[in-house]
Structures are given as structure tokens and as C-alpha cells.
Amino acid sequence: MSSPATHAADELQTSRPTIVDLRSDTVTKPTPEMRIAMAEAEVGDDVYGEDPTINRLEQRAAEIFGREAAIFVPTGTMGNQIAIKLHTKPGQEIICEERGHIFNWEMAMLAWFSGCTVRPIYSEDGILTWEMVRKQISARIYYRQQTGLVELENTHNMAGGTVYPQKIADDICDRAHEAGLPVHLDGARIFNAAVALGKPVAEITRKFDSVMFCLSKGLGAPVGSLLVGNKTFIEQARSVRKALGGGMRQAGILAAAGLIALEKMPARLHEDHANAKFLAKGLAGLPGIDIDPARVQTNIVIFDVSGTGMSASEFTHKLAEKNLLAGTADTQRVRFVTHMDVNREACERALEAVKQVVND
């Protein structure tokens, strides 16, 4: 372990302050193994299809998801927006859950880039059913704007990392297809869902027309997401990616870390889930905090702090003073996300910080 890459990684490791960062699973730093792989990656010009590491990553992603093809994109947002562009026509509606990422966190690109609008459905746990979706599909009459796409999010980020029971997701896909509608999956955290369900990602996503998943969330890669689908869809996605400015060159540097994320990191996600449960159980016993630990299914913990008399943002400012970084889900609720750079001991310190804030 004496290469310059490992040395730099070690230095980062030891100089890291005692801050516990639970804002998101995107804050992870690449592992020493990733840094070495990045330094040593074989590369070429990916716009010419000549980057061997990118090609290997795309091929492995397609295999793991049981699909014909996959395309590497710099962000999950770009992956989702390429899919939306290809599945819809301007003037159409997209059915999705009200707090969905594509609707709230992607800069209105579904309107800006694809000319679509959203027909949102609120569901407390973020999980839609066919019954809910069916009622929002527009009648096939010429003077009504038409539904163009159904989109699901698994796990559902802002509903607290909730997981689609496979039957419910399968049912929505089957019935939407019967109604002539494609279904896209925002699977930014699909490996967390797979771990929670104890099933391979290929099985839980097989009925979707396209799936986007992130390497840069719980899997720990510094950059990157993939979009998987059939061969024609992914060929078309290459043009749209280029149009969005996502045609990268020697991006094998990134794919090298991505391959490690894809191959090795799913096997450790259960630790993040156990840590999230641990946090939830600890929080449940504190005055002024409202959370049902039984609802925490993966690595996201959302809890109501209104009983403390503080708003969510006041609460997170107090936590930051105690070296604990957290996010907010809305004005009353705080969000913790566990990931590979917070171990059990860091979670214990996090609970200690919350205790101090509620007791002050």
C-alpha cells in the first residue's frame, strides 16, 4: 500500500475532522481501492466509443440488470431526463408521486427539456398503487392532454427511503403497459431496495421500460449513474446525452471507481440499513421527536421535530454546532442518511448530539 493514490487517500482519512455527516449518502469519499483503480484506469475517447473502462462498466450494468444495454451518465438527473425525453412527446403528462425527485429536484427539466407537465399523486409512504395511477390517466379524447409516462421512485427518497413491494411495482408496470404507457424507474437507490427485499435488482426492475440508478449514492463512487434499457433505447439515449453536454471523453477514470461501486458495494448496504434502524430507535426515545422506527426500511431516517418547539432548519443548525450535519425534508422534519463513511460509533455520536440539542 505505497502508491501515491493510497497515500493521498490515507492522508484524507486521518485529517478528516470528527464531524458526522448525515446530510446525504452522496457525501462519501472514494475508497483507497477506488483511487488506485482510477489512477490506473485504461481510457480512450468515450464519444468515439473507445473507452474500455466505460464499455466494461456499461456491459456489467446491463448484465446485472438483465438488460440489452446501458449508458453511463454524469448524474442521475441526466439519466432520468434522457429517459423522460425518449418516452414522451411535448404536451404530455407524467404521472409520479408528489415528492418525486424528477418533479422537485431536477430543475423542472421535464417541462424545460421535454415539454411535459406532471400529474402528481400524493402517497404518504411515497408508494403508488395501480388504483391510484389508473384514476389519473387521462381519457383518450383529442381535447385532453394525454398521459405519456408513468414514473416510480424506488427507494423513495423524500418519503424516507421506502421500498416498493415487488408485486405493487410489477402490477403498475403490467397494467400501464396494457394501457399503452411506458414506465420509467428512478432507481437512484435501487440497490438499497434490493437489499431490503432480499432480491436481485434484475428481478425487482424487470418490468420497467428503463431504469436509472446511481453509483454516487450509497455505492460510494465519486461520480456517475447509469441508464439501462433495450438496445434501441440506449442507442437513442447516446444522442440525447450528447445533446445535453454529457458526452465525456476519457471518462474511464470515473468508470473505474464506478465498477468497484457496482461490483463490491451492494454487499455492505445492509450495514447502512442497520445503522439507520439504530438511529431511528434511539431517536424514538427522545422528548419532542416523533418517529416510528418500524417505518425505516433502508438508509434514510426522517423524523418530526415540531415537539421540540424548533423548526427543522433551526434544529439542524443546532446539530451543526454539535458537529452533526443533517438535512431537512420539510419545515418540520429532519432527514438523516446513513452511508459507508459513517460507522456505528459515528451514529452513537450523532445520537449523543441530538440528545444534547433536545435537552438544551
Ligand X SMILES: *Cc1c(COP(=O)(O)O)cnc(C)c1O
Structure letter (DSSP) for residue 145? P
Residues 174-203 that bind ligand X (CB under 6 A): 186, 188
Strands, E assignment, 30-158: 69-73, 93-97, 117-121, 147-153
Distance CA 121, CA 130 (A): 12
For the bound state, the minimum distance from the C-beta of residue 254 to ligand X, rounded and expressed in Å, comes to 13
Instruction: Check binding of 6 to ligand X (CB under 6 A).
Output: no
CB nearer to ligand X: pick between 5 and 118: 118
CB nearer to ligand X: pick between 80 and 162: 80
Length of the chain: 360
Instruction: Check binding of 101 to ligand X (CB under 6 A).
Output: yes
For the bound state, the minimum distance from the C-beta of residue 252 to ligand X, rounded and expressed in Å, comes to 19
CB nearer to ligand X: pick between 254 and 310: 254
Instruction: Check binding of 162 to ligand X (CB under 6 A).
Output: no
Instruction: Check binding of 272 to ligand X (CB under 6 A).
Output: no
Residues 46-75 that bind ligand X (CB under 6 A): 75
Alpha-helical runs (H) found in the chain: 4-15, 32-40, 52-64, 76-87, 101-104, 109-112, 130-136, 166-178, 190-197, 201-205, 231-243, 252-264, 269-284, 312-321, 344-359
CB nearer to ligand X: pick between 126 and 148: 126
Angstrom distances, CA of residue 276 to CA of 14, 298, 333, 341: 25, 7, 16, 13
CB nearer to ligand X: pick between 277 and 335: 335
Task: Tell me the residue nearest to ligand X as measured from the CB.
Answer: 76
Neighbours of 190 (CB within 10 A): 26
Per the listing, cell 442518511 goes with 337
Please identify which residue in 225, 275, 299, 316 interacts with ligand X, judged by CB under 6 A: 225
- 297 near 314, Cβ under 8 Å? no
What is the dihedral sign for C-alpha 302, 306, 312, 318?
negative
Instruction: Check binding of 169 to ligand X (CB under 6 A).
Output: no
Please identify which residue in 34, 37, 214, 215 interacts with ligand X, judged by CB under 6 A: 214
Instruction: Check binding of 76 to ligand X (CB under 6 A).
Output: yes
For the bound state, the minimum distance from the C-beta of residue 4 to ligand X, rounded and expressed in Å, comes to 29
Binding residues for ligand X, per CB under 6 A? Answer: 75-77, 80, 101, 153, 157, 186, 188, 214, 216-217, 225
